[in-house]
Amino acid sequence: MTLSYNFELDRVLKEINRCNAKRILIQIPDGLKPQAFTLATTIEKNTKTKVFLSASPCYGGCDIAINQARILNVDLIVHYGHTPFRSELEIPTIFLSAKSFLDLNSVLKKAENKLIGHDIGIATTIQHIDELTIVEKHLKNLGLNAIITPKEGHSYYSGQIIGCDYTPLKKISNYVDCFFIIGSKFHSLGACLAVNKPIIQADPYTNEVINLKDIRKSLIVSRYTAIEKAKKSNNFAILLSTKVGQYDPKTAEMLKKEISRKEKDVTMISADEISPDSLSNFQEVDIFVNTACPRLAIDDAAKFNNSILLPKEILVAIGKMEWENLLDTGIL
Ligand code: SF4
């Protein structure tokens, strides 16, 4: 099979030699799994290393399979598709971006008449980060001013967008007329809830370019409705993920305290993988309060039996924050 992403095999082989790794665990996002067999067998043929391919989901740099690696007794985790969240992990881990070989020219041409204004904030996923200079040049040739988002928050590179931390976009929001995001809907949808600027998304895989204006409006209405429901509810459960990059006991404890003060009943639910299925039997709960991956509350909201709210949304529901303030600072 021809690999359509750069799996950086040379780097992996070098790292295996450097660590003298006898057993490795490969974590790879679902979209890259179709090519994982070739990857694993190539590594085994070229080293004396035993390779384990993780079938578990691999959502982000937050999601390092430490427990799996511990049980499999591996010396090295090879994590594809994301950049690190934390510098200290108990098992040596290398992060490989899996850069795409896709040409962006066609989708850039298609986007030309959809961009709004003169100053355009640009960002993309790690897979296309090397192409951002091409995007910048393309916009400059159109007489536009391209501003690459800075390296802030969990973003490891300037111009990198991730689904849970939009600090880089917020930092330049006052200086741009719109944001131009190259990537899937996942990242641009989050951007809609983080910054109050037009979001133009160009998907290089489908060659589609869309303005997310209407999607933003309906998302905000649904978030408002969920908050209103929470105001009238009594039974709350705080969701605490045990994934290394999502575990946030401080926020969970703070919210538990604040909700209790309002004389509502509240408990904590923990899991490595929080999903609509894993929560479906907690039927007494009215509202789930999500301190894990914030995207559960946005992308998967309709799949949960009960409302699932983000920390700031709960603060609005219990009167500790104003709705307008939430919109100003961004729901995400
Ligand atoms: S917390 Fe969610 S959005 Fe952020 S990296 Fe992890 S899976 Fe992606």
Q: Any idea what the Cα angle at residue 223 is, between residues 221 and 227, rounded to 5°? A: 115
pTM: 0.94
Q: Is 325 found in the same domain as 226?
A: yes
Question: Strand 119-124 to strand 145-148: parallel, antiparallel, or no bridges (unpaired)?
Answer: parallel
Q: The tokens of 307 are what?
A: 């409302």
Q: Is 109 found in the same domain as 93?
A: no
Mean of the per-residue pLDDT values of the chain: 95
Domain count, the chain: 3
Q: The tokens of 115 are what?
A: 């961009």
Q: Is the CB of 81 under 6 A from ligand 1?
A: no
Q: Is a pLDDT exceeding 80 seen at residue 139?
A: yes
- Cα 296 to middle of ligand 1, angstroms: 9
Distance CA 255, CA 291 (A): 9
Q: Is 294 found in the same domain as 278?
A: yes
Pair 115, 126: CB distance under 8 Å = no
Q: Is 49 found in the same domain as 109?
A: no
pLDDT given for residue 245 in this prediction: 93
Q: Is 322 found in the same domain as 222?
A: yes
Average pLDDT of the residues in 95-123: 96
**Residue ID of nearest Cα to ligand 1 atom 8:** 60
Q: Is the CB of 162 under 6 A from ligand 1?
A: yes
Distance CA 311, CA 316 (A): 9
Q: Is 316 found in the same domain as 284?
A: yes
- Cα 247 to middle of ligand 1, angstroms: 12
**Residue ID of nearest Cα to ligand 1 atom 4:** 164
- Cα 277 to middle of ligand 1, angstroms: 19
- Cα 62 to middle of ligand 1, angstroms: 6
Domain boundary among 211, 242, 264: 211
Q: Is 311 found in the same domain as 261?
A: yes
3-state secondary structure of 281: coil
pLDDT given for residue 2 in this prediction: 55
Domain boundary among 211, 234, 255: 211
Ligand 1: atom nearest CA of 60 is 5
Average pLDDT of the residues in 9-17: 96
Q: Is the CB of 246 under 6 A from ligand 1?
A: yes
Q: Is the CA virtual torsion 6, 7, 9, 10 positive or negative?
A: positive
Distance CA 267, CA 92 (A): 35
Q: The tokens of 308 are what?
A: 């699932």
CB atoms within 10 A of CB 19: 14
Q: Is a pLDDT exceeding 70 seen at residue 12?
A: yes
Predicted confidence (pLDDT) per residue in 181-220, tens digit? 999 999 999 999 999 999 999 999 999 999 999 999 999 9
- Cα 165 to middle of ligand 1, angstroms: 8
Q: Is 309 found in the same domain as 229?
A: yes
46 φ/ψ angles, rounded to the nearest 5 degrees: -100, 0
Q: Return the CATH number at 230.
A: 3.40.50.11860
Q: Is the CB of 164 under 6 A from ligand 1?
A: yes
**305 vs 125: which has the higher pLDDT:** 125
Distance CA 326, CA 320 (A): 11
Question: Strand 199-203 to strand 208-211: parallel, antiparallel, or no bridges (unpaired)?
Answer: antiparallel
Widest Cα–Cα separation across the chain: 62
Whole domain around residue 251: which residue ranges? Answer: 218-329
Q: Is the CB of 298 under 6 A from ligand 1?
A: no
pLDDT given for residue 313 in this prediction: 98
Q: Is 257 found in the same domain as 316?
A: yes
Task: Identify the CA nearest to 162 among candidates 198, 129, 130.
Answer: 129
Ligand 1: atom nearest CA of 62 is 6
pLDDT given for residue 128 in this prediction: 96
Q: Return the CATH number at 113.
A: 3.40.50.11850
Distance CA 184, CA 195 (A): 17
Ligand 1: atom nearest CA of 59 is 7
Predicted confidence (pLDDT) per residue in 110-135, tens digit? 999 999 999 999 999 999 999 999 99
Pair 259, 236: CB distance under 8 Å = yes
How many percent of the chain have pLDDT more than 70? 98
Domain boundary among 70, 97, 124: 97
Average pLDDT of the residues in 236-243: 97
Q: Return the CATH number at 81.
A: 3.40.50.11840
Task: Identify the CA nearest to 301 among candidates 323, 319, 279, 282.
Answer: 279
